[in-house]
Chains A and B, each alone.
Chain A
Amino acid sequence: MRLDARRFGRPPVTDEELEVDAGGTARMRANPGRAGRLGLRFFALGYLALLLLIPVVMIFIRTFDEGIGAAFDAVTTPEAQHAFYLTFLMVAIAVPLNTVFGVLAALVLVRQRFRGRAILNTVIDIPFAISPIVIGLSLILVYGRDGWFGQWFIDQGIQIIFSVPGMVLATIFVSLPFVVREVQPVLQEIGDEQEQAASTLGANWWQTFWRVTLPAIRWGVAYGVVLSTARALGEFGAVSVVSGNISGRTETLPLFVSKEFEQFDIAGAYAASVVLAILAVTTLLLMNRLRPKEESL
């Protein structure tokens, strides 16, 4: 989840803005002297290195300790392959659903005035604010064997908890807010004059949306999709509670990592982690590419 600075009424930082002119004499006087500046830089970079960078590099080193072959073998066992398949299945179901819901919810929240709008706005943030474990538990209480709707689904022959549908639900739940939160400010900024112009020219709702609104918000949508994908790929807590961890059946990649680690198959855990880390770094690169474009709207 990216903290959205726009929610506090200020635009986020772009790469171009990062370049500063630190050479001005007046500035040098107002800012700490050379020693203070270097000290702060050393502290900030050192903190980042110790907490973030070195650990992540370390896991790559550990993984390829015994050669690429060993790492490759560890992530191509039938169990690991199934974990890959399930993880991508989660993403393939949750992300499109959340995208459609997110765009619609953002449209409703920005363009319409109705009772309970403020409540809906708060409810959408719930998945960010509460523990994934609580999310998992809540799904069990609703769809589990003695949950509110559980018995009905079991009568229909559908098992939700400890099976794939429950894991999909959990994934949808945790990645729900991303698209809404990215699209909402963009919609607010573009206003609705173009949409009104389109409808006075005789366009119906769908044409207006497809030809006018969607092109304007496309970068916001894309950014939200990237964030949801990252979260859906990596979700552990909520999925872990509802999956029951049945190896080879309800095990996604993050669950596979944790199981391998607990069974002292460290090589397998590291290798699968590296795959997830590579996916995360790809996400980061996409985030950075999308952000400036989104701002240039």
Chain B
Amino acid sequence: MIVLIPMAAVVARSTEGGWDTFWTAISNEQAVAALKLTLLASLLVVVINAVAGTAIAWVLVRDNFRGKRIVNSVIDLPFALPTIVAGLTLLALYGDDSPFGINAAYTRAGVVMALLFVTLPFVVRAVQPVLMELDEDMEEAAASLGAKPPTIFRRIVLPNLTPAILAGSALGFARSIGEFGSLVLISGNLPFKTEVASVFIFAQVQSGNTTGAAAVSVVLLAISLVILFAIGMWARRSLRHAA
């Protein structure tokens, strides 16, 4: 009840004025720009996460070095750190007075960076246990047959990891689409440039346009539900395959 009634209220409000009002609200140029940026940034983040996350998981499972346990626990930091603090820390390093001379404040690069920060653990944590269970016999067999490491990775390791990478990426994508806290400070919320959908909705609520806010929210809700549903299907299917 605590979850469903509010969700129903959002949908009801967005369709209050009929289909036309709904359409006008979401085809508003600023709303379209915000939704587009959200989707594109999230897609880019998913791709980077899939590569970097798999690499990090590989290093954590197959490599050995001092301090590995610490690195392993640091991965969860983005889940533990309040999002507003995440935004501020990135700004402290990559903002106006960056010691590296990199200024990503109020740019789209800053948006992507903040999203990468908050979604980092998803792919790593999905791939890690699978990689750990993966039997190295197959890889050794391939090696003894003369396959080179890149071939082994592409033909044997990667196909085994794909479901986990996709599952982790989907969760990261859902999170990116709705992210707010880490973006408010670093993006500067410039309409048409760095304003993402959640920030747009926030601005609409602040200015009293709850109907417009609800319409854009419904679009976000629809995307999230599709993703949730897809993950559910995927998990069920891969479990059946395993059994």
Contacts and interface: CB of A to CB of B under 8 A. Distances in A.
A281 B92 contact: no
Contact of A53 (B4, B74, B126, B174): B74
B83 A281 contact: no
A55 B38 CA distance: 24
Nearest to A146: B210
Range of interface residues on B (Cβ < 8 Å) = 35 or more
B181 A236 contact: yes
> Chain A, interface size: which category?
35 or more
Contacts of B31: none
Contacts of A12: 125, 129
B29 interface: no
B122 A3 contact: yes
B6 A138 contact: yes
Contacts of A135: 6
Contact of B77 (A59, A258, A276, A280): A280
B7 interface: yes
Nearest to B73: A288
Given A140-B210, A261-B185, A236 B63 contact: no
A33 B205 CA distance: 56
Nearest to A36: B149
B73 A134 contact: no
Contacts of A218: none
Interface stretch (A43-51, A151-159, A181-189, A209-217): A43-51
A41 B76 contact: no
A20 B68 CA distance: 11
A181 to B, nearest CB: 12
A137 B74 contact: no
B149 A126 contact: no
Given A134-B178, A137-B210, A141-B214, A55 B90 contact: yes
A90 interface: no
Nearest to B172: A3
B107 to A, nearest CB: 16
Contacts, number: 293
Contact of A147 (B9, B56, B68, B213): B9
Interface in B46-85: 52, 55-56, 58-65, 68-69, 71-85
Nearest to B63: A41
Contacts of B181: 132, 234, 236-237, 254
Interface in B106-120: 113, 116-117, 120
Nearest to A284: B80
A30 B239 CA distance: 28
Interface string A51-64: 11111101100100
B30 to A, nearest CB: 16
Contacts of A287: 73, 76, 80
A276 B202 CA distance: 24
9 contacts: A20-B64, A30-B143, A41-B63, A44-B55, A124-B3, A131-B201, A133-B180, A142-B9, A253-B82
Interface of B: 2-7, 9-10, 12-13, 52, 55-56, 58-65, 68-69, 71-85, 88-90, 92-94, 99, 113, 116-117, 120-122, 125-126, 128-130, 132-133, 136, 139-140, 142-144, 149-150, 152-153, 163-164, 167-168, 171, 174, 177-181, 184-185, 197-199, 201-202, 205, 210, 213-214, 217, 220-221, 224-225, 227-229, 232, 235, 238-239, 242
Given A31-B139, A131-B180, A136-B205, 11 more contacts: A9-B242, A15-B69, A22-B63, A32-B149, A40-B55, A43-B55, A44-B59, A129-B225, A134-B178, A234-B84, A236-B82
